[in-house]
């Protein structure tokens, strides 16, 4: 399995798409002077929010397109036949791919944090507290990425078309990222909703990955986040990723590779 992890990391770092994400991270630094100049209120908080949004956005792109590359290369180009001809199980292959992707994603998030820290220290007068808030957001963004990669692997055995795969996974992410707002909107007229519809809504709410739970940018900026939240989100992400990988392994084992 360690060989698959190493190959995955090497493959992802060598991809033009992923190099573009790292360069895009550098390019976003050009937006810092704009944010600081246009901000009419607290420059410190505006800069911190900008940094957090960049980390989240690039992390989500990385997660989706990393598995997209695996689908297009391994299944689309029939490379998977060579891999599975070796004495490894399909579950081991998936776990190896998953581990390689999330490790490379960790490098991306660390890279982005390192990019923004000097600017945050400069514009905030050396505020270490702001740096800790950015690190906390990096932790939440990494958990979101970890869960998104695991969920994406569930669809890895289903689609031979990388384009369809990207649309499906992107749709699931958008739905999961807006679950909190959708739930609150429905709860405003919850009693008027038929019982069967409420059952369907609650079922979908608890089955779909709740990516909105990792959006703590505003509470972090205003220091309204407790340590217990981080622990609960960590346990939720690990549990959901574990279940998703089990489902992905079962589906992959039943897939006929012709």
pLDDT tens per residue, range 65-95: 888 777 667 666 666 666 666 677 778 888 8
pLDDT for 186 equals: 64
Task: Please state, for a pLDDT cut of 90, what percent of the chain lies above it.
Answer: 15
Instruction: Give pLDDT tens digits for 179-233.
Output: 777 666 666 665 666 666 667 767 777 788 888 888 888 888 777 667 778 888 9
pLDDT for 144 equals: 93
pLDDT for 72 equals: 67
Residues 19-34: what's their mean pLDDT? 78
Confidence band, pLDDT 50/70/90 cuts, at residue 142: very high
Q: Any idea which of 131-135, 136-140, 225-229 has the lowest mean pLDDT? A: 225-229
pLDDT for 95 equals: 86
Rounded to whole angstroms, how far apart are CA atoms 134 and 221? 9
Task: Please state, for a pLDDT cut of 70, what percent of the chain lies above it.
Answer: 79
pLDDT for 149 equals: 92
Cα distances from 197 to residues 79, 174, 191, 200, 203, in angstroms, run 45, 21, 11, 5, 10
pLDDT for 122 equals: 85
- H helix or E strand, kind and range, residue 221: helix 217-221
Distance, C-alpha 134 to centroid of its chain: 16
Neighbours of 147 (CB within 10 A): 27
pLDDT for 139 equals: 93
pLDDT for 189 equals: 62
Residue with the bigger pLDDT between 239 and 78: it is 239
pLDDT for 239 equals: 94
Neighbours of 1 (CB within 10 A): 15
């Amino acid at each position: 399995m360690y060989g698959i992890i190493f190959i995955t990391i090497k493959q992802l770092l060598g991809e033009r798409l992923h190099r573009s994400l790292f360069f895009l991270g550098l390019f976003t630094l050009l937006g810092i002077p704009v944010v600081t100049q246009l901000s009419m209120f607290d420059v410190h908080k505006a800069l911190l929010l900008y940094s957090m949004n960049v980390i989240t956005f690039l992390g989500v792109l990385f997660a989706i397109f990393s598995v997209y590359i695996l689908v297009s290369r391994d299944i689309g180009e029939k490379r998977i036949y060579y891999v599975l001809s070796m004495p490894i199980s399909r579950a081991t292959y998936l776990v190896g791919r998953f581990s390689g992707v999330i490790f490379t994603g960790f490098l991306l998030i660390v890279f982005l944090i390192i990019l923004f820290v000097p600017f945050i220290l400069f514009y905030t007068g050396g505020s270490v507290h702001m740096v800790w808030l950015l690190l906390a957001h990096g932790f939440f963004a990494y958990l979101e990425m970890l869960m998104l990669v695991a969920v994406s692997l569930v669809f890895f055995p289903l689609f031979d078309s990388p384009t369809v795969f990207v649309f499906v996974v992107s749709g699931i992410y958008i739905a999961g990222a807006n679950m909190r707002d959708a739930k609150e909107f429905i709860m405003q007229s919850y009693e008027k909703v038929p019982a069967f519809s409420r059952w369907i809504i609650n079922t979908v709410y608890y089955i779909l990955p709740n990516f909105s739970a990792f959006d703590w940018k505003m509470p972090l900026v205003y220091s309204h986040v407790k340590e217990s939240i981080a622990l609960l989100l960590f346990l939720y992400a690990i549990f959901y990723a574990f279940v998703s990988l089990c489902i992905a392994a079962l589906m992959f084992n039943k897939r006929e590779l012709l």
